[in-house]
Copies of this chain bind each other. A is one copy, B any other.
Amino acid sequence: MIGRLNHVAIAVRDLEAASRLYRDTLGASVSAPLAQPEHGVTVVFVELPNTKIEFLEPLGASSPIARFLDKNPDGGIHHVCYEVDDILAARDRLKAGGARVLGDGEPRTGAHGKPVLFLHPKDFNGTLVELEQA
């Protein structure tokens, strides 16, 4: 069911410092920052040959990343995102298997403009898992 690893998301306190680190010290290709107020984050993409790293910096008072950074002051890996061909079929299969889908269980439009769902970390080895329609 799951396909490619679309990205690994890393929450950071300082997007500019994180971008500099990956660009200058690790020599990676790093995008310009992109504000996504509807998701409460500003995002930078690190393009690797086979997948992406996404840096997430809190944007606005109710950012979902702010609480994570309170608990992880240095930042940290926030979630992994797997692609699926059919997000509704994936959701139904997961729910039938007893996994909890976060929110109301309906896909939302994610940071890449595609339908996404998040799965409960307690059901996935302590890992927040995003599913994105491929």
Contacts and interface: CB of A to CB of B under 8 A. Distances in A.
Contacts of A1: 26-28
Contacts of A8: 5, 8, 80
Given A5-B5, A77-B127, A121-B74, A97 B25 contact: yes
Q: Interface size for chain A: under 10, 10 to 19, 20 to 34, or 35 or more residues?
A: 35 or more
A26 B76 contact: no
Interface string A90-109: 00011001010000000000
Given A2-B22, A10-B127, 9 more contacts: A1-B28, A2-B26, A4-B51, A5-B50, A5-B51, A8-B8, A21-B123, A25-B93, A73-B126
